[in-house]
Amino acid sequence: MKCLWNVLFCGAVLAAAVSASAAEYTLKLPAGVTRSWIGPEFWGNRTQDWKLADGKILCVADQTRLNMRTLHLLTHRLAEGDGTFRITVNTQWAGDEGTQPSKGAFSGLLIGIGGPGVDYRRAVLVHAFPGEGAGLVAGATPDGKAFFADFEKEQVQPPAAMGDPRPLQLVLEGKPVDGGYRLTLVVSDAAGTELSRAE
């Protein structure tokens, strides 16, 4: 199977984020297990595009027409009201050694899907096409360029990647400001060195 980063949207693992009243959530994946079903707390678009392998979640979609795959965490959701949130996810290119991600490749987080009052079972259907309630993408190119994209208005067009793919850590923070939220996305390498940020 071929893994194309542009269909990998690992950040949607935490697409629903964490409610203000929830304790810290840390994903623990079983080592030594390989299967296409990630677990009961996740919904994948499409299910067959995701695989659990040796303690990692992989996107295994191999068709470039599948331009954005999502994996939603079903057990946590941002609550109404004031409060800060922080979501951290580690991603990396899962292609074969020496291969490069497709043009337009990215990984990241999808937040704000559905909106208030929308049942989570409906919200988790968001994946390949922009539209009302489709949320905001906080993403990174394979070489670590941070960006935001309004997925309600148009397809995600990440900045061009100039370097080689590398393991990345994405940290998205939201702080209440004037009735809304100020979002900051920091992208770091495996050693914790900041590569870029977007606000």
Render pLDDT for 139-175 as a digit per residue (tens, 0 to 9).
999 999 999 999 888 888 788 877 888 899 999 999 9
Digit-coded pLDDT (tens) for 97-136 = 677 777 788 899 998 888 777 888 888 888 878 788 888 9
Structural domain range at position 15:
5-198
Digit-coded pLDDT (tens) for 53-104 = 888 898 888 766 667 888 988 887 776 667 888 999 999 887 766 777 777 8
Is the pLDDT higher at 97 or at 48?
48
Domain count along the chain: 1
Give the CA-trace dihedral at 95, 37, 167, 155, to 10 degrees.
80
Q: Are strands 168-177 and 85-91 parallel, antiparallel or unpaired?
A: antiparallel
pLDDT of 12 higher than 80: no
Structure pTM?
0.83
Residues 123 and 128: their CA atoms lie apart, in Å, by 13
